[in-house]
Amino acid sequence: MLTRQGWLCLWAGLAMIAVARLLGIGELYVFGAVALGLVVVALLYVRLVRLDLRVHRVVHPSRVHVGQASRVEVRIRNLRRTDTPVLRLRDPVSGTTGAELLVPPLDQGAATSATYRLPTDRRGIVAVGPLRVVVGDPFGLAQAGVEAAPRVELTVLPRVEPVRPVPYTSGNDPLAGVLHPTALGRSGDDFYALRPYVVGDDLRRIHWPSTARHDELLVRQQEQPWQGRTTVLLDVRRAAHDADSFEAAVSAAASIVAANGAQRDLVRLVTTDGADSGFGSGGTHVQALLEHLAVVDTSGSASLRTMLDLLRRDGQGALVVVVGRTAQDDLRAAARLRQRFGLVTVVQVTDDAGAPGAPAASATLVRVTPSSPFAPAWDRAMRAASSRRARAGVGT
């Protein structure tokens, strides 16, 4: 295909021939013919060039958090029996003008590599490619390209800050429990907890000293069957956020998910547009939640009150509600879920440092403002919550 210069040369040649015919100027016929001849030669050149290349492109790493480095490495090997012409590599990159690299002529069997960095300043999916190898004529009038590598994607995950996990709870959660095992004597008979005897338990597991002390049959729990549960509700209502507050809210939700996922808690992510991951644990589950947060966006049809009503019916473990600009009635509704959850924390991301907080004392409020970043405010609240639960005799 012709380049911009090629089209200009073509139209200039046709114009000179037209003017030469109109005015009878023979020299213009020559100039016009030369211009058209150059265009024809350029087209034939790029048409006849045969490329035999082995191209390998890799994005490393393919998943990064906001601000971390990711680069594309392209390696090219010449499989022709002759040298290659100057090659131009064009790799479209979403959100940018793309990458364009020049590769000098390669000898037979020679290889070279080139790298460039990808933008990671915003979370989301960065589409890369397809990569095209373009060859042009020496005059820059025509070019032809072939697809050398398919489209790939870079996932830019939200920024994750190192924060304290949500403490274990003992609220309306049959699976909530203790964190640290308890050792018994010197016999090596270690167990994680004592629990009341139920019909069918092995009588040999009854812990008689504790039974005598509490006047109740207690059995030793040899394994740790309980696991902390944390539900993170992210408010994605379009009216509740501007661009900056929404990014801060997503980063806060991602940080909480990563912190509790790191200690093998069961973590659930819910958004006010109806998305619900369900409880899960382990690195794969946490990675899936972070990938969802990488692409989550605000919604005009999301409803905070609807999701709070749904959570009221299946409250388990701890609940963290991450909101933006929110009416006091909605904050009170979130605080009232303390009746169903062992711990309720409201993270409010706002640019108004003087706005009133949640009125209910049963819920912990974490205010995130330009002057009060998320991580230190969250850690202070979680230390205080852990201390309160320790004084109340709750395992943390």
Would you say residue 179 has pLDDT above 70?
Answer: no
Tell whether 138 and 271 lie within a shared domain: no
Q: What percent of the chain stands above pLDDT 70?
A: 86
Round to whole Å and give the CA distance between 306 and 340.
Answer: 16
In 3D space, the residue among 144, 142, 136 whose CA is nearest the CA of residue 8 turns out to be: 142
Tell whether 145 and 196 lie within a shared domain: no
Residue 172 falls inside a structural domain:
no
Q: Taking the CA atoms of the chain, what radius of gyration do you get in angstroms?
A: 33
| Domain count of the fold of the chain | 4
Tell whether 125 and 57 lie within a shared domain: yes
What DSSP element (H or E) covers 233? strand 229-234
Q: What percent of the chain stands above pLDDT 90?
A: 41
Residue 365 falls inside a structural domain:
yes
Residue 146 falls inside a structural domain:
yes
Where would I find the H helices in 98-218? 208-214
What count of other Cβ atoms lies within 10 Å of the Cβ of residue 93? Answer: 17
DSSP states of 63-115: EEETT---EEEEEEEE-SSS----EEEEE-BTTSS-EEEEE----TT-EEEEE
* pLDDT tens digits, one per residue of 30-41: 998 999 999 999
Round to whole Å and give the CA distance between 332 and 232.
Answer: 17
Tell whether 285 and 200 lie within a shared domain: no
3-state SS class at 348: strand
Would you say residue 80 has pLDDT above 90?
Answer: no
Tell whether 308 and 250 lie within a shared domain: yes
Tell whether 237 and 380 lie within a shared domain: yes
Mean pLDDT of 51-78: 93
Tell whether 340 and 218 lie within a shared domain: no
Tell whether 251 and 356 lie within a shared domain: yes
Tell whether 142 and 283 lie within a shared domain: no
Tell whether 133 and 239 lie within a shared domain: no
Residue 375 falls inside a structural domain:
yes
Residue 88 backbone phi and psi in degrees, to 5 = -120, 125
Where would I find the H helices in the chain? 4-23, 26-48, 208-214, 243-262, 283-295, 304-313, 328-336, 374-391
Would you say residue 222 has pLDDT above 60?
Answer: no
3-state SS class at 343: strand
Domain span including residue 202: 181-225
In 3D space, the residue among 286, 322, 374, 373 whose CA is nearest the CA of residue 63 turns out to be: 286
Residue 113, judged by CB atoms within 10 A of its CB (0-12, 13-18, 19+), counts as exposed
Residue 173 falls inside a structural domain:
no
Would you say residue 123 has pLDDT above 90?
Answer: yes
Tell whether 114 and 92 lie within a shared domain: yes
Tell whether 130 and 150 lie within a shared domain: yes
CATH number of the domain within which 242 lies: 3.40.50.410
CATH number of the domain within which 131 lies: 2.60.40.10
Angle between helices 283-295 and 243-262 (to 10 degrees): 180
Q: Are 217 and 206 in contact (CB under 8 A)?
A: yes
Q: What is the pLDDT of residue 356?
A: 53
Contacts of 22 (CB under 8 A, 6+ apart): none
3-state SS class at 328: helix
pLDDT category, 177, cuts 50, 70, 90?
A: very low
Residue 163 falls inside a structural domain:
no
Pairing of strands 343-349, 318-323: parallel
pTM of the model: 0.76
Residue 171 falls inside a structural domain:
no
